[in-house]
Every structure is written in structure tokens, then in C-alpha cells.
Amino acid sequence: MLSATAEHAVRAVLLLARHNGAKALSADAIAAELGAPRNYLAKTLNALAKAGVVHSARGAAGGFTLAISPEKLTLARIINPFDDHARTPACLLRNRPCDSQNACAVHGRWNAIVGHAAARFEQTTIAELLMEAGPAGGYTPAAAMTVDVAVPVYQVAMLRA
């Protein structure tokens, strides 16, 4: 359900969070770690900076760092610049607009699916995903972060694919 760009954005943010802000990471370093094209990822990171998700700095010590703590940074905040799950989808059965006044046979069911995914993206933080990754994730949560979070396996699997 995520575009390739939104998925790369989430992966980049997870990498930055695992790095714990020790130093800024360049777009080249992030692209190499993720196996993504450098120019493509640089545009994605710049869109995240414009959205206030990451900070960017130029120069020898420049690069990208998180602008929001992993405990407060939701998946929705990361993917919204790239995927708008709140928009009314085009009709899946006909070549015309589809809304509640002019619904097709699958409109209600499809909106429920999209709405459920959007709600999960709003409820899931980067810290929660990294807690699922365990010690290999390289993330140490803030002292106030609780460990009893439930993240559906399909969300973690989407990000690892």
C-alpha cells in the first residue's frame, strides 16, 4: 500500500533513528546503506526536511538528522508527503470518480481498508518499530518509553521487504 518513495522515506528515517543522532548522515551514506539511488534518495530526504521530519545541514559535517524524536514520530508523518491515504480513491471498477454519493460496489470495503491502514500509520511510531527490531536495531529508547507496544507483524514486514 505504500509507494516506493514512501517506503524509502521510512527506511531512511529508521536508519537515522538507529544512528541516534550521533552525527549527521549524508544522503550518499544513507543511499548506500539502503541500496537506493543517491539522487532519488536525496530528493526524498529533502522532501522530509521540507515536511519537518528531518533536519538537513550543508558542509563537511552536514547531512541529515531526525527533527522529531522517534517516540513522537509517526509513520503517517513520514509517508504523508509521498502518499495521501486520506484522499478519496478513484473508482476501482469504473473509469470515473467514486465517492459516497456515487459509490461503486467495492467503495465501502475499499475505504474501510484504506482507513484502517491510515489509522495504523497514525498510531505507530518509529520507536515502536525499532523496539520490535530488538537490540540489533541499535536503538535505545528514552527512559519514559514503555516496552509494551503491539505493532502488527505485517507493518514490520512491509518495512523489511
Q: Are strands 63-66 and 54-57 parallel, antiparallel or unpaired?
A: antiparallel
pTM of the predicted structure, to 2 decimals: 0.74
Task: Calculate the alpha carbon distances from 8 to 2, 16, 57, 156 in Å.
Answer: 10, 12, 20, 14
Q: Which domains does the chain have, with CATH numbers?
A: 4-155 (1.10.10.10)
Tens place of pLDDT per residue across the chain (161 aa): 688 999 999 999 999 999 877 789 999 999 999 999 999 999 999 999 999 999 999 888 789 999 999 999 999 999 999 976 555 557 778 777 777 777 888 888 888 888 888 899 999 999 999 987 665 545 444 433 333 333 344 444 444 44
